[in-house]
Structure 1
Amino acid sequence: MRSSGLIRTQVPRRVAIVGGSRIPFARADGPYATCSNQDLLTAALGGLVERHGLHGERAVGEVVAGAVLKHSRDFNLARESVLSTGLDPRTPAYDIQQACATSLQAVIAVANKIALGQLESGVAGGADTASDPPIGLNDRMRHILLAARRAEGGTARVRELARVRPKHFVPEVPRNAEPRTGRSMGEHAARTAREWGITRQAQDELAALSHRNLASAYDSGFLHDLVVPFNGLARDQNLRPGTTAQKLAALPPVFGLPDAEGHPGAPAEGPAGAAEPTMTAGNSTPLSDGAATVLLASEEWAERRGLRPLAYLTAYETGAVDFTEEAGEGLLMAPAYAVPRMLRRVGLGMEDFELVEIHEAFASQVLATLSAWEKQGLAPVDRGRLNVAGSSLATGHPFAATGARIVATLAKLLAERESAGPGALGLISVCAAGGQGVTAILERA
């Protein structure tokens, strides 16, 4: 009996990260305002194809990618993007989605197949455009139109359509709010900031450092083979090289302010003004457009094509928290539990990592996560090893693209870091909507 194609008990193969390609991230309603998710993902994927010579018959085994803000036309986003590039049109592809962790989960999906011997190579990625969100008919109008479609006969159809009123033309716009709580992600983060005692100054200092580090990464040429220019942009539009904590301190708070009735917006229960709001547009990520991709492969595949692995994906862990009012674990705090659990499983401590990459949804969330890790007994993270090439506060955060950006960046950082030898480790931590988190460990090749 042939066993080919079956899942067998065997030692998993090492999964190499060969390279990455992304387009510069843009602020919403900016240079990419008229671009679709497919336009963005195609550009990032096309850059990967060109840089790594992925033309030809089945050069890549599979493509996995996704988007968070999807139109109905995006139902087959990954596959349609493949067909718009130089990849072999016989390359299969499928979509995946887990909010801000989408493309990191795509990396894990591809990696698992490579490790099991089901693929030799694959591409993971993600794209999002906040400039072109899906705006639909409101439910009342939709129900009327569906009823009219089901009606038998012209008279019955006209009767249903006659129920349409001007109010039914008000569109449904995607809301930046958690369905379970009605609070925005920023409001949840403001509550966590208060609970963990995260100061405004600490947030602004972290945000300023993110901009300085990203500017240095561009100026040194580090990002030259990771970022492909697109639609007039060569650098991330949100980058402000001259940002300082002093300049950020002048910005007004945008989350945690009392509402019109005098109740606190999000930080915690209590009277209006009980806590000074600390979160601003400067220490929070902006709505962004962009796309990012990562090339993964077996060592044998990379060697055959003359490509040098940058790093290996060696471990990963997902997690989720109960962020409801009763539990109050914090919407973006799942990595605070997932990382310690992963490190216990593989027998590592925080001191074993050369570099640490934490997705900067908000500066307050990064700082709260660091504090939570220490509270659980992990060693403090050396700030000189944290997000050394900048992160989401400076680059921006197109939801589904962030994980792939971080994986490609960390892999190259490990490969080129002078103080890191073979086997040096890097940690990835990504929080996501719905109280979720995805974490991973990379090892220098």
Structure 2
Amino acid sequence: MSPTTLRRVAIIGGSRIPFCRSNTLYQDESNLSMLTAALNGLADKFGLAGVEIGEVGAGAVISHSKDWNLAREAVLSSKLSPLTSAYTVQMACGTSLQALAQLGGKIATGQIDSAIAAGSDTTSDAPIVFGSHFAKRLIKLANAKSLGERLAAFKGFRLRELKPASPNAGEPRTKMSMGQHCEIMAKQWQIGRAEQDQLAYESHKKAAAAYADGFFDDLLVPFAGVTRDNHLRADSTLEKLATLKPAFDRESGQGTLTAGNSTPLTDGASAVLLASEDWARERGLPVLAYLTYAKTASVDFVAGEGLLMAPTVAVARLLKDANLTLQDFDFYEIHEAFAAQVLCTLRAWESADYCRDRLGLDAPLGAIDPTKLNVVGSSLAVGHPFAATGTRIVATLAKLLAQRGSGRGLISVCTAGGMGIAAILERP
């Protein structure tokens, strides 16, 4: 193909295992077993058993050192051909969407004809490690060649050295959790508790309705005896949400983020099949939608910007690339890490000052139609296994567009490290 000819990137469909709150139904599972199940879900759904895929890009945020190439090991454990190459990627909560964007670029330029983007995460199987002092003793012990050297490795040993280092999802540069950062954002943008609880309530209600309508039937594959997301609360009420205490700011009396309007620690995996149109046509696979644009951005949260505000920048740049306005979409899939994050993002796009001073725009991006936002629920309802969320959203949005028959959808995902990633799916 000509270097200037780009092919359309077709989204064929997705598969995921049910998402479960950490330390519940998947406490004996690993990233490898969950990711393998998501890949097998695609293999069964689209007849890919024994098929060599162009590439698989997948990753996990919380992983063991033994999972140094998780994606390849999952491929080898799956029904896909072992000839399928795979690489592991990590971009915090944007991991699988970043993998999809990378693989989409390879399809567009003709490097490969098919690909699978995926992600898995579990905090039920988080790596527990010793502190550096005891770890160095173990290294010395492993390298010792005599009894004297082995004994010397433990000279001065203290029992406190056996205390493991607890897993920590806090930002290394600020020592603050994502929730603590989001509390600051909520205060900066004057996002109230009632607004956050309302968004969380609506997410649960919309997801419950989608389950009742069978929307998720062909997107989910049973795993470990589980057939349904176990965080979803169909009986959620605003009254129940209002009783919950602040989760990240318990001292000031001003905290608004709770366990009800924040995503829980979640275990799960998801995957999406994408391809060139010719590859899909040869196999008789329908195209649900097309990946047309993707963009990443970062903010300087150490200098005072909101940790989770990078998607506002990514989306603004994406709209410029696509020559679109914020209102030119039929669906908006904004990842609900916290209800406050979604609301801060929406308020920022409506702010003339923010859009001028931070985004360099002459006018605010404006408001979106709330009836088009996360129409089948999102992370607050189904959970958020960090690396799996991106491809969960892509599969959901592609199906919504296919059901509608045509249209355009915007994806926005915030990530740790002050980054964000956005994408556009379209169905002509």
Q: Name the counterpart of 2:5.
A: 11
Residues 151-300 of structure 1 mapped to structure 2, 5 A cutoff: 153-258=146-251, 272-273=252-253, 276-300=254-278
8 Å CA contact retained: 1:46, 1:85: yes
Name the stretch that deviates more: 98-107 or 141-150.
Answer: 141-150
Q: Name the counterpart of 1:267.
A: none
Deviations 1:13-34 (A, max 9, x none): 0000000000000000011000
Q: Residue 17 of structure 2 is aligned with which of 10, 23, 41?
A: 23
Q: Name the counterpart of 1:426.
A: 409
**Cα drift, residue 346 of structure 1:** 1.6
CA distance in 2, matches of 1:57, 1:24: 25
Task: State the AA in 1 paired with 2:327.
Answer: E
CA distance in 2, matches of 1:374, 1:337: 13
Residues 1:57 and 1:426: Cα distance change in structure 2 (over 3 Å): closer
Q: Residue 371 of structure 2 is aligned with which of 357, 380, 384?
A: 384
**Cα drift, residue 246 of structure 1:** 2.1
* Fraction of identical pairs, as percent: 54
Q: Name the counterpart of 2:325.
A: 349
The DSSP-based 3-state class of the residue aligned with 1:439 is strand
8 Å CA contact retained: 1:103, 1:400: yes
* TM-score of the two chains, using structure 2 as the length reference: 0.95
Q: Name the counterpart of 2:386.
A: 399
Task: State the AA in 2 paired with 1:322.
Answer: D
Segments of 5+ residues of structure 1 without an aligned counterpart are 259-271
**Cα drift, residue 335 of structure 1:** 0.4
CA distance in 2, matches of 1:88, 1:148: 41
Q: Name the counterpart of 2:344.
A: 368
Residues 271-350 of structure 1 mapped to structure 2, 5 A cutoff: 272-273=252-253, 276-324=254-302, 327-350=303-326
Residues 402-417 of structure 1 mapped to structure 2, 5 A cutoff: 402-417=389-404
The DSSP-based 3-state class of the residue aligned with 1:279 is coil
CA distance in 2, matches of 1:203, 1:56: 47
Q: Name the counterpart of 2:108.
A: 115
CA distance in 2, matches of 1:33, 1:150: 35
8 Å CA contact retained: 1:144, 1:163: no
**Cα drift, residue 176 of structure 1:** 2.2
The DSSP-based 3-state class of the residue aligned with 1:243 is coil
The DSSP-based 3-state class of the residue aligned with 1:301 is helix
Segments of 5+ residues of structure 2 without an aligned counterpart are 356-363
The DSSP-based 3-state class of the residue aligned with 2:208 is helix
CA distance in 2, matches of 1:155, 1:392: 56
Residues 1:254 and 1:175: Cα distance change in structure 2 (over 3 Å): same
**Cα drift, residue 244 of structure 1:** 1.9
**Cα drift, residue 414 of structure 1:** 0.9
**Cα drift, residue 345 of structure 1:** 2.0
**Cα drift, residue 277 of structure 1:** 1.2
Q: Name the counterpart of 1:39.
A: 33
Deviations 1:370-426 (A, max 9, x none): 111112211201110000011000010000000000000001011102xxx53x110
Task: State the AA in 2 paired with 1:214.
Answer: A
Q: Name the counterpart of 2:119.
A: 126
**Cα drift, residue 152 of structure 1:** 6.0
Q: Name the counterpart of 1:438.
A: 421
Q: Name the counterpart of 2:358.
A: none
Task: State the AA in 2 paired with 1:344.
Answer: K
Is 1:103 aligned to 2:96, yes or no? yes
Task: State the AA in 2 paired with 1:415.
Answer: A
Q: Name the counterpart of 1:78.
A: 71
The count of residues paired between Structure 1 and Structure 2 equals: 417
Q: CA RMSD of the aligned region, Å?
A: 1.3
4+ residue runs over 6 A deviation: none
CA distance in 1, matches of 2:42, 2:233: 27
The DSSP-based 3-state class of the residue aligned with 1:350 is coil
The DSSP-based 3-state class of the residue aligned with 1:295 is strand
Task: State the AA in 1 paired with 2:150.
Answer: R
